[in-house]
Amino acid sequence: METEIEDSWIKNFKEQEFIKKYEDTIHISIFFIYINRRNELHIIKQGPTYILQSNQFEKQDLIDNIKKNSFVNNQKYKLLSILKYNVDVDANNLEDFLFKDNYDKYTETIKSLDTILFSNSTKMFNDINSLFILYHENIKPCYTKKIKINTKSNRKTKSKRYKEIKK
């Protein structure tokens, strides 16, 4: 009896317009996650939300967000990882999305700082497309050792000049 109610709810839900229709624009929320020296979650900060006309999040926007948010509370953090969460579920795959724990299918680790491609989502799932930028607290001190190069010779003896012999 209980499964019939759940099935009828899903069938009615699949027929709704906002689950069938894909958006022309893609909404992307950016989250900044900061991890301290003890590998504990320290701060979670929500960044701007981008509305993309195409399915590309530009490289320059990504680099600007990474640089702008690398300092928190006068503490430098270095980039650890970037995760893309893009839900592209259609009405046919809705049951799999709701009842199975296969969220790793929609999560991708970004390995290089380049333009990120997103696929179109339905109206219902368009707002949960996200980028997670993870930072780790910088452990090494940020100074450079100064080395002086001595150009003077430290020789104690002087070389004697030889006179040219006349022929």
Q: pLDDT band at residue 163, thresholds of 50, 70 and 90? A: low
Residue 78 has a CB neighbour count (10 Å cut-off) of: 12
Say how far apart CA 112 and CA 59 lie, in whole Å: 10
Going by their DSSP bridges, the two strands 26-35 and 130-137 should be labelled as parallel
- pLDDT recorded at residue 155: 62
- Cα angle 121, 131, 142 (rounded to 5 degrees) comes to 170
Spatial distance between the Cα atoms of 115 and 154, rounded to a whole number of angstroms:
56
For residue 27, the model assigns a pLDDT of 85
For 31-59, the pLDDT digits (tens) are 999 999 999 999 999 998 888 888 889 99
Record the tokens describing residue 127, joined without a space.
Answer: 């707002």
Mean pLDDT of 14-34: 74
* Amino acid making up residue 134: L
Q: Please tell me the predicted confidence (pLDDT) of residue 29.
A: 92
Instruction: Give 96's Cβ-side CA count (13 Å radius).
Output: 12
pLDDT tens digit sequence for 100-140 = 766 678 889 999 889 998 888 777 777 888 999 999 998 77
CATH among 3.30.410, 1.10.10, 3.10.20, 1.10.1760 for 23-137 = 3.10.20
Q: How far apart are CA 133 and CA 45, in angstroms?
A: 10
Tens of pLDDT along 46-103? 998 888 888 889 999 999 999 999 999 888 999 999 999 988 776 666 666 666 766 6
Give the Cα-Cα-Cα angle 29, 45, 128 (nearest 5 degrees).
Answer: 25
Average pLDDT for 135-157: 74
Structure tokens at 87: 């839900």
Q: Give the per-residue pLDDT at 54.
A: 84
Q: Tell me, what's the pLDDT at 102?
A: 67
User: Of residues 67 and 21, which shows the higher confidence score?
Assistant: 67
pTM for this model (two decimals): 0.69
